[in-house]
Amino acid sequence: MTSPGSASAGNATVGLPKTLEWVGGDDGFLRLLDQTRLPRDVVFLDCRSAEQVHAAIQRLSVRGAPAIGLAGAFGVCLGAREWLERDRRDVERFLKGVDEVSDYVGGARPTAVNLVWAVRQVREAAYARRDAGVEAAWKAMLETSRRLLAEDVEICRQIGLHGADLIRDGMGVLTHCNAGALATAAHGTALSVMYAAHAAGRRFHVYADETRPLLQGARLTAFELTASGIPTTVLCDNMAGWLMSQGRVQLVIVGADRIAANGDTANKIGTYGLAVLAKHHGIPFYVAAPRSTFDRSLSDGRGIPIEQRGAHEVRGVGGSEVVAAGAEVYNPAFDVTPASLISGIITERGRVEPVTGGGIAQIFA
Amino acid sequence: MTSPGSASAGNATVGLPKTLEWVGGDDGFLRLLDQTRLPRDVVFLDCRSAEQVHAAIQRLSVRGAPAIGLAGAFGVCLGAREWLERDRRDVERFLKGVDEVSDYVGGARPTAVNLVWAVRQVREAAYARRDAGVEAAWKAMLETSRRLLAEDVEICRQIGLHGADLIRDGMGVLTHCNAGALATAAHGTALSVMYAAHAAGRRFHVYADETRPLLQGARLTAFELTASGIPTTVLCDNMAGWLMSQGRVQLVIVGADRIAANGDTANKIGTYGLAVLAKHHGIPFYVAAPRSTFDRSLSDGRGIPIEQRGAHEVRGVGGSEVVAAGAEVYNPAFDVTPASLISGIITERGRVEPVTGGGIAQIFA
């Protein structure tokens, strides 16, 4: 169903619908797989405005740091197109519109730095072409977004290749939330490592934390991995420690939403606890992420903003209210794992191992 | 609604319906609060046969080690009453029936040793009165069950008093699952400590892990504590580590399903991981349990049978299937926390602190 001019990515390699794609040419739209409906329903959201993309990011129809970044990039293009259509001659006014829509889309969620990063690439593309006029500036934005999408596919593939040797025959590999093809243009980050090891013929078993409150592990990771033929067991988050103590986990790999200059890593809530448990059991704990997930403006994890989400995500399970009305709810969407608990970070440029500020600086050299 | 002859317990002290009560005299029945329906519906199950009690225990309508024990005791009385009605003269045949129904009810769930313990008390009461005939033996069984119920109320109250000084003003106290009034005849074990501290005027905040898969923390603990006016915040299980790292938890108290002679403690799945996290953060970790939860026939926790429950508990959330069909599910109902991770055990005879085999032997002296 992809038109000739569409930019999209290779989830077909793992038997999955596309996470996101730009359908059509300059008058096209962003098609997102609505991940809130998985695994039951495969439904797409066609976004034709920045507001629709903003809402889709906020309600987690698209989620995962790299995928949020890409959706945000196309979202800015959609918002800027409205400015283009209003006035095709006043470049300064157009750029002011681009600034506005960039701030709006870039602020949809606070923790994943990829969103800010991708939006900045697109905005800068417009500024770089300001002398060529409004239409050229806008085309440069769309071109940049398409390029980021294509690059993400290759970056994720490289992450997989750089991590694959960590997985050996017979291992139990634990992961949390979904850092898979559904969190990126294709392949994923943590799961790309598993796909690469699987493609290399290694036999291993994946344990997927269900990941309350929104169950991305149960709904998305199990869906992806089983679709790819990788044996997968889902467990409740509170079972991970016991599973480790039983000798069934030899490796933990998770994704990331923002990594500070020293390697402190924000990722889905629960990651920090897993890292402590892994350390207690002597199990290697790896983070897989592209360079766009690093925020080297922060010296350590203390500066990473942690999104607090609505109580309804915890209170309501499958549509019915389970928490007594008088009780409060704690619902941070992310936590920060200190670099000292991370064995290594797997990037498209190789592994940072051990995790040090110097090692991280090198992958940007 | 309690008839004059009924044995029941004082949940009214904490504004709650009774967990379980024997309604009526010798021809009475066991009334259980159906905890699968809480907090939305307050519904009672009236059990008139051992089979009904067995089913109620298996489906967790009644849960919590002490409450399971009490339900089991009355369940054996109900089963034995059928043997009594069949033949009121043949004591040997009656005792054979008691043995049969004891094995049946005692095997409803494997981990909580209180069930085996309470059933044994009731069976032994019958044997002790064998010379007085079938009816006297059966009356002794019912009398013993009523006595166990009344004693449980007082035991739980004593546990609370022996632990209350652990809670000081301004503390954050974390608990897991439900070790409250709903898990016992009244007051609870871990929560009895909180009720006692609250009654002593201490101001503190309770954090209740929601406790997947069956959400006893969200559904039951939050319900109990807020009904008692104790400020409570519910969190997903995977948030406990981050909460600790934020300095918001000064004490962890949980219940127990079986404690070995050396202090290794089986409790709701997730307890072990919490204990590791508490140790990492230097937070005291206490277990609260009556002496009937100790199984001194086991030298350590390796011999404790861990119940594996059905995959449907994890797969289905609020009635809808969330786990991809091809994925397996891991669902142990309990884990074992080694004594080395436990700061102390709070019993009706005082605290075992530090946790050693010798200290445990002393509370049985």
C-alpha span between B363 and A16 (Å, rounded): 60
Residue B351: predicted pLDDT: 98
**What does pTM read for this prediction?**
0.94
Query: What pLDDT was estimated at residue A224?
Result: 95
Active centre residues of A (catalytic): 257
Looking at residue A5, its pLDDT comes to 35
User: Which residues lie below 8 Å from residue B341, measured CB to CB, with a gap of 6+?
Assistant: B272, B275, B276, B278, B279, B285
pLDDT score of B152: 97
CA separation for the pair A251, A346 (Å, rounded): 13
Whole-number Å distance between alpha carbons of B164 and B161: 5
Q: Does B327 sit within 8 Å of A236, measured CB to CB?
A: no
Which chain B residues touch A207 with a CB distance below 8 Å? 330
Over the stretch B254-286, which tens digit does the pLDDT of each residue have?
999 999 999 999 999 999 999 999 999 999 999
Residue B325 CB-density burial (10 A; 0-12 exposed, 13-18 middle, 19+ buried): exposed
pLDDT tens digit sequence for A205-224: 999 999 999 999 999 999 99
Distance from C-alpha of A63 to C-alpha of A308, rounded to nearest angstrom = 15
Among all chains, which residue has been given the structure tokens 């501290």? B197
CB B298 within 8 A of CB B261: yes
User: What pLDDT, on the 0 to 100 scale, is given for residue A316?
Assistant: 81
Assess whether pLDDT exceeds 70 at residue A344.
yes
Exposure string over B2-35, b if 16+ CB within 10 A, otherwise e: eeeebbbbbbeebebbbbbbbbeeeebbbbbbbb
Could you give the 3-state DSSP secondary structure of residue A329? Answer: strand
Interface test with A, best of B330, B334, B341 (most A CBs within 10 A): B330
B46 is catalytic: no
pLDDT tens, position by position, A11-63 = 544 568 999 999 999 999 999 999 999 998 999 999 999 999 999 999 999 99
Q: What is the rounded distance in angstroms from the CA atom of residue B26 to the CA atom of residue A84?
A: 86
- Alpha-helix runs per DSSP H in chain B: 50-58, 65-86, 91-106, 113-128, 134-163, 190-199, 216, 222-227, 240-245, 271-281, 312-315, 357-363
B210/A326 Cβ within 8 A: no
**Using CA atoms, how far apart are residues B78 and A296, in angstroms rounded to an integer?**
69
Q: Which of B237, B257, B264, B335 is catalytic?
A: B257
pLDDT tens-digit profile of A117-127? 999 999 999 99
The per-residue pLDDT for range B201-250, each reduced to its tens digit, is 999 999 999 999 999 999 999 999 999 999 999 999 999 999 999 999 99
Question: What is the per-residue pLDDT for B305?
Answer: 96
Which residues are bridge partners to A265 per DSSP? A259, A337
């829509």: which residue's tokens? Answer: A101
B42 touches chain A (CB under 8 A): no
Q: Distance between CA B128 and CA A60 in Å, rounded?
A: 65
- Listed in sequence order, the residues at least 6 apart from A336 whose beta carbon sits closer than 8 Å to its beta carbon are A264, A265, A266, A272, A301, A302, A304, A306
Question: Does B307 contact chain A (CB < 8 Å)?
Answer: no
> Residue B51 — φ and ψ, nearest 5°?
-65, -40
Is the Cβ pair B273, A240 closer than 8 Å? yes
Q: Choose among B210, B191, B364: nearest CA to B293.
A: B364
User: What is the rounded average pLDDT of the residues B305-315?
Assistant: 95
Tell whether A136 lies on the interface with B, counting CB pairs under 8 A: no
How many residues make up chain B in this entry?
A: 365
| Residue type at position B108 | A
B302 touches chain A (CB under 8 A): no
Quote the CA–CA distance of B256 and B117 in Å, as a whole number. Answer: 14
Cβ of residue A55 closer than 8 Å to a chain B Cβ: no
